[in-house]
Amino acid sequence: MTEKEILKQTAAFVRQKLEGEGTGHDWWHIHRVWQVSKAISKEEGGDSFVIELAALLHDIADHKFHNGDEKVGPQLAFDFLESLEVEKNIIDQVLQIMQEISFSKGMKPGSLEGIIVQDADRLDAMGAIGIARAFAYGGYKQREIYNPEIAPIEYETKEDYKKNTNPTINHFYEKLLLLKDLMNTKKGKALAKERHLFMQNYLNQFYQEWDGKC
């Protein structure tokens, strides 16, 4: 089977699994990360086949929706890629990327392919779409939109971060506004600046409306 056919089947598999999901972790999130990963790779290099597979499979079974189990996604990806008879070294690289890119892990991937997919994934948590995804997930978790009596916090451990129940506006300060300075690639950094500014402007408008000033 050619790489092109493997990618086509992988995209179809992921779309079937995630299409219609309502928390912002849906097929279209995957599709955007896939496309942005390819765009960054054109400038940064890397193994395009590994990058595309990792981008397509990175959220196939997010731990947030599997009782915090971080093994479900990699296992599902392994089983699928093995069924397509993808080479073991390729599968290993994809699984490694899946295990390294999450914000909650607080780490920089050990490969160029990994940092490209991580940048693309983080970019989708920023800007206009990132804001929409944040509120979609906050609604799913039944979190308040904003509560001025609950201040953002800096989490000491990844487990504390995963267990937080803070209002969605706090998530901007606890994650989204931190992403600009965590970008790895030149392309990622450039794209992040614009999206970061959009989020800052959004928050300024939000607080003005909250205070009844406009």
If phi > 0 it is left, if psi is from -120 to 50 it is alpha, else beta; for residue 64 that is: alpha
Which pLDDT score, from 0 to 100, does residue 65 have? 47
Whole-angstrom Cα distance, residue 77 to residue 95?
7
User: 104: pLDDT confidence band, cut at 50, 70 and 90?
Assistant: confident
Looking at 45-147, list the stretches that DSSP marks H as alpha helix, in order from N- to C-terminal side.
Answer: 48-57, 72-83, 88-100, 112-123, 127-140
What does the pLDDT average to over 60-81? 73
In the Cβ-directed half-sphere of 132, how many Cα atoms lie within 13 Å? 11
Task: For residue 1, give the nearest of 60, 53, 58 by alpha carbon.
Answer: 53
**Confidence (pTM):** 0.91
Residue 160 — very low, low, confident or very high, per pLDDT cuts 50/70/90? Answer: low
SS3 content of the chain, % helix, strand, coil (to 5): 70, 0, 30
Return the pLDDT at 107. 78
The predicted structure's pLDDT at residue 143: 95
Q: CA nearest 59: which of 45, 48, 72? A: 72
Which residues are CB-contacts of 28 (< 8 A; sequence separation ≥ 6)?
none
For 189-211, the pLDDT digits (tens) are 999 999 999 999 999 999 999 98
d(CA 43, CA 25) in angstroms, rounded, equals 27
Are the C-beta atoms of residues 135 and 144 closer than 8 Å to each other?
Answer: no
Percent of the chain with pLDDT over 90: 76
Whole-number mean pLDDT of the chain? Answer: 91
Radius of gyration of the chain (CA): 18
Q: Are 13 and 80 spatial neighbours (Cβ–Cβ below 8 Å)?
A: yes
Average pLDDT over residues 31-48: 97
List the domains of the chain with CATH numbers. 3-210 (1.10.3210.50)
